[in-house]
Amino acid sequence: MPRTPIAVHHVDVPTSRLRTHVLTAGPGDAPVLVLVHGNVSSGRFFAPSMAVLAERYRCLAPDLRGFGLSALAGVDARRGVRDFSDDLHALLTESALVPSGQPVHLLGWSLGGGVVLQYAIDHPDAVASIVLESPMSPYGFGGTRDLAGAPCWPDFAGSGGGTASPEMVRLIAEGDRGTGDPASPRNVLTTLYGKPPFQLPAGIEDELVDAMLQMAIGDDNYPGDAMPSRNWPGTAPGERGVNNAISPMYCDLSGFAAISARPGVLWIRGDSDQIVSDASAVDLGFLGQIGAVPGWPGADTYPPQPMVGQMRAVLDRYRAAGGHYEERVLAECGHSPHLEYPDAFNAMVREFLGS
């Protein structure tokens, strides 16, 4: 059993969709806060914050399908992130974790930000509020050129399963816990998830690396299958797996701007995020621009994806339609505010939820 803060507990919850492993903390009669993790991670990444936020909230951090200790189940990418959001709905409505009919607060990090936006689109009246932590663009990762999410190519080349680092995929599959390869999970955690130098206590770092290694590898999970393309960079989305589910071919969360209910939204991000950024180190448009991927056709054809601008454009439309959002930017912070600046992050979340 993974070591977690003493106030955080493990539970396995069967639903009609799959068995979900959940970290829990806080009194059962408190308002419910559901924390949804990102790609190449698990609910374990939230345990330190849960131990603090549980003073006022019933915290639940599920492992998404194919991640952490949840059941192995494939991802139908043609549904976008709905496999994940439908799993979450089954967990919250079929179990005793949440009192029947009680709206929940949702906190989504990176991929999890997309999952909670999809949940709010499908179940707007079930959401009390939303915290978006370094959320993925509402148009997913890769392959779009402007604030409206227009594709660079008709086949959305440059997004999907073929864009993942093959070396990182191999090292995860091999259970690598070392630092000898720049693409090792440990090096990705310490140099990409946070702004370098990003240091975690040794025990926590080891546990988070273990959580990364628990992820299912393959065409049905991470990163997913791929299709060859005549368009640069030569790979287009397949139909299975996580990275295809967040391809803009299938993932469009811009409908959040028009949902019927209007839960308040807090958007927290770091000013030095290397993953979700208008100059993202995982976006092939940006990597082509700086010469890291050969053959780049130029900014007129394939510019870097304006990920932050796309999220702001959707949230601005949400505000114009009567919703409310607040954007908070942490200085000298990367992709993981809850790990890099936990005191500031937890204080922002508590203040927002309390209001």
- Residue 220 pLDDT > 60: yes
In this structure, is residue 3 part of a structural domain? no
Q: Which domain holds residue 87?
A: 9-354
| pLDDT-derived band at 201, boundaries 50, 70, 90 | confident
pLDDT digits (tens, 9 = 90+) for 118-149: 999 999 999 999 999 999 999 999 999 999 99
Whole-number mean pLDDT of the chain? 96
pLDDT digits (tens, 9 = 90+) for 250-291: 999 999 999 999 999 999 999 999 999 999 999 999 999 999
pLDDT score, position 1: 39
pTM summary value: 0.97
- For residue 300, with 0-12 CB atoms within 10 Å meaning exposed, 13-18 middle and 19 or more buried, which class applies? exposed
Cα distances (Å, whole numbers) of residue 75 to 60, 188, 216, 239, 260? 22, 24, 11, 9, 28
pLDDT digits (tens, 9 = 90+) for 25-55: 999 999 999 999 999 999 999 999 999 999 9
How many residues are listed for the chain in this entry? 355
Q: How many domains does the chain have?
A: 1
pLDDT score, position 352: 98
In this structure, is residue 2 part of a structural domain? no
In this structure, is residue 335 part of a structural domain? yes
Query: Domain holding 186: CATH number?
Result: 3.40.50.1820
Residue 52: both structure tokens together: 């603090």
In this structure, is residue 1 part of a structural domain? no
Q: Give the count of beta carbons closer than 10 Å to the beta carbon of residue 160.
A: 35
In this structure, is residue 70 part of a structural domain? yes
In this structure, is residue 4 part of a structural domain? no
pLDDT digits (tens, 9 = 90+) for 305-345: 999 999 999 999 999 999 999 999 999 999 999 999 999 99
